[in-house]
Amino acid sequence: MNAETGGYHKEVTNVQAAQSLACGPAPQSPFDRPEWFALLAETRPSAVFKCAEAGNKRASMALNRTKGGFEALRNWYAFTWRPDVGAGSESDALLTQLARDLKREAPRVTLAPLPDEDGSASRLARAFRAAGWAVALEQCDENHVLRVDGRSFAEYWAARPGKMRTTYKRKAKKVDIEILEHFDASMWQEYENIYAESWKPSEDEADLLRRFAEAEGTAGRIRLGIARADGVPVAAQFWTVENSVAYIHKLAHLESAKPISPGTTLTAELFRYVIDSDQVSLVDFGTGSDAYKADWMEEVRPRYRLDALDPVQTAAWMPLAKRRIRSILASVRPER
């Protein structure tokens, strides 16, 4: 029992137990869902789920133990990471207590990529500072999104760059498009084949991505698209839709098919599908600074990394010194 919050704190590593830690409002994205963290935990023996409770309030964090401390439990294509916690001052106190408890186990905690349009990054920074950590909160990535604002696809498309609209007009008839709202093993194999031969780097944790796609298909959230030229698959994309948001997870096309621009056509048709049929209010293109995203999206949101060091622990002194040196150098760097 904790005197400050009147609650208790625990850690679980069992996948089923981890799923029971859901405590806040409905998940905001696919990467907030307990099932997502449980899926990650199956292949990460160092995954832990920290939880604090007080009365009917609860806060939890999905973390991964590292040699130097803790980091967010995630993989490289997760759009965001954030704790599972409700609103209000009592929940803020639980977050602070979780941060304080982590000091007993590690000199460093690193959490990313954190959104802040909902206040998550700022809220975590306040909690860790209140718990006595030395906190650095810096932008580590960016997120491209489109706010539909009630537009039809035709209205959205009319505002796209002229070159892209011309490409679509000239090339769209060269491919046939198929979009599914359920998982299909043969179509997924086509996606994997295209990805393997595309310009993309080799897929990390491909089996995990497939299992995620299967779960999204079972729930009816998947939008799996394939473009075929003369019956041959040449471009593939994996999207999901939930809570009026479309998420663009994966896209790839064959370099050999680049002259017919199948990626442009497939992307346009998926935008048409989620805007006109699903009637989403937001399209989220994930993280990354890829220049082509600006043609499709209209807003860029920052993603942050929180790096918390415990100044009391000797293992944190060297990283703290390096952070201080970087700060001094940045302050004296001449303007260009």
pLDDT computed for residue 57 by the predictor: 87
Among candidate residues 243, 77, 235, 245, the one with its CA nearest the CA of residue 145: 245
Give the span between the Cα atoms of 207 and 332, in whole angstroms. Answer: 48
Q: Summarize pLDDT for 99-157 with one digit per residue, the tens.
A: 999 999 999 999 999 999 999 999 999 999 999 999 999 999 999 999 999 999 999 99
Q: Dump pLDDT digits (tens) for 275-307.
A: 999 999 999 999 998 889 999 999 999 999 999
The pTM for the full model equals 0.90
pLDDT digits (tens, 9 = 90+) for 174-206: 999 999 999 999 999 999 999 998 877 777 788
Q: Report all structural domains of the chain as residue ranges with CATH numbers, in order of start.
A: 7-142+303-332 (3.40.630), 150-280 (3.40.630.30)
Residue 23: pLDDT band (50, 70, 90) is low
Residue 17: pLDDT above 60? Answer: no
238 pLDDT tier (thresholds 50, 70, 90): very high
> 112-150: string of b/e by CB count within 10 Å (b at 16+)?
bbbbbeeebbebbbbbbebbebbbbbeeebebbbbebee
